[in-house]
Amino acid sequence: MKAMTIEVPDEVQEADVKRAVAIRLFEEGTVSLGRAAQIAGQPKLLFMEELARLRIPVINLSPEERARELSDD
């Protein structure tokens, strides 16, 4: 993993920046749920709750995969 340094206003907390980056990376599919939670510095369950609050799906199936999962076969 590589470390990065960015400058933010004093009122912005480091934890908020980490969480925002982790959410974005997960949403884009760049990192897994577990990796995103690790980047955010949160337990996976807490990170999942944050995603739910933001209405970001934890499981992202394609329309074909969704149809297969919902079929009665």
pTM of the model: 0.80
Tokens, residue 29: 């599919």
Confidence at residue 1, expressed as pLDDT on a 0 to 100 scale: 75
> What is the pLDDT, as a whole number, of residue 11?
96
Query: Average pLDDT for consecutive 10-residue bins of the chain (73 residues)?
Result: 88 95 95 95 96 92 82 71
* Confidence (pLDDT) at 73: 62
Give the separation between CA 23 and CA 60, rounded to whole angstroms: 14
Q: What are phi and psi of 40, to 5 degrees?
A: -70, -15
